[in-house]
C-alpha cells in the first residue's frame, strides 16, 4: 500500500501520515530526509517532530538515496518518508542533476516493487506563482513531475488542507 500525502506547509501532512502508520504497525519506521546543518529553526522543527513521534518509532536519516532503503522495508511495518520535497531540494542544491535523474528513477522502480505499507509526505508546490529564478522553477517542475509519477503508482493520494484530509485517489 502506497499513499502519497501532500499539502501546503504546516497543513498537517506529517501528523496524518504518522497516525496512519502507527495504526498499521506497533513499531513504524520514520525516514527523515531533512539536513539540519546550521539552521536553528529547522533543528527546532526536527526536535518537535521527534517528540511528537515518541520512542516507539525507528528512525533512518537519509537525505539523498531513498532507493537504498527500499529493499529492506517489511510488509509488516509501517513506513513514513518525510519529506520528498526536502529530498528533491537536497539533490538540486548539490548540483548533481544526472545523479538526481538516476536516483529518482531507481526510487520509483523500487517503490513500485515494495510490499511495505508506505506513506510518502511531500509539499504541494505547484499552486503558487511561477518563481522568478531558475533554481526555484526547476524545483517546481521537478516536484510536479515527481508527484505525478508517485501518484500514478500510489494506491491512495490525500491532500491535507488546514489539517483536513481530502481523498484524491483510492
Q: What are phi and psi of 66, to 5 degrees?
A: -65, -30
For position 13, what pLDDT does the model report? 96
Does pLDDT of 1 surpass 90? yes
The pLDDT tens digits of the residues spanning 31-85 come to: 999 877 777 877 787 777 777 777 788 999 999 999 999 998 888 789 999 999 9
CB-based contact 33:81 (threshold 8 Å)? yes
Q: Is 166 a catalytic residue?
A: no
pLDDT confidence of residue 50: 77
Q: How would you classify residue 48: left for phi > 0, otherwise alpha for psi between -120 and 50, otherwise beta?
A: alpha
Handedness of CA 108, 91, 146, 49 (dihedral sign): positive
* pLDDT value of residue 43: 79
**Which sequence spans correspond to the domains of the chain?**
2-169
Q: Report the distance separating Cα 80 and Cα 59, nearest Å.
A: 10
pLDDT at 126: 82
How would DSSP label each residue in 66-126? GGGTGGG--TTS-EEEE-HHHHHHHHHHHT-HHHHHHHHHHHHHHHHH--S-EEEEEE--T
- From the list 49, 145, 147, 166, the catalytic residue is 49
The lowest-confidence range among 7-11, 107-111, 152-156 is 7-11
pTM tops 0.85: yes
Fold classification of 2-169 (topology level): Rossmann fold (3.40.50)
**Average model confidence (pLDDT) across the chain:** 92
Amino acid at each position: 500500500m502506497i499513499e502519497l500525502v501532500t499539502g501546503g506547509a504546516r497543513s498537517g501532512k506529517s501528523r496524518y501520515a504518522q497516525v496512519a502508520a502507527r495504526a498499521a504497525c506497533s513499531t513504524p519506521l520514520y525516514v527523515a530526509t531533512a539536513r539540519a546543518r546550521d539552521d536553528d529553526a529547522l533543528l527546532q522543527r526536527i526536535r518537535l517532530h521527534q517528540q511528537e513521534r515518541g520512542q516507539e518509532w525507528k528512525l533512518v536519516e537519509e537525505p539523498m538515496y531513498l532507493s537504498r532503503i527500499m529493499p529492506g522495508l517489511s510488509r509488516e511495518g509501517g513506513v513514513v518518508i518525510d519529506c520528498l520535497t526536502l529530498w528533491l531540494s537536497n539533490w538540486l542544491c548539490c548540483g548533481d542533476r544526472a545523479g538526481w535523474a538516476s536516483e529518482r528513477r531507481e526510487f520509483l522502480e523500487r517503490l513500485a516493487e515494495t510490499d511495505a505499507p508506505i506513506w510518502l509526505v511531500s509539499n504541494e508546490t505547484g499552486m503558487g506563482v511561477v518563481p522568478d529564478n531558475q533554481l526555484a522553477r526547476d524545483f517546481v517542475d521537478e516536484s510536479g513531475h515527481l508527484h505525478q509519477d508517485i501518484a500514478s503508482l500510489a494506491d491512495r493520494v490525500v491532500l491535507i488542507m488546514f489539517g483536513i484530509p481530502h481523498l484524491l485517489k483510492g
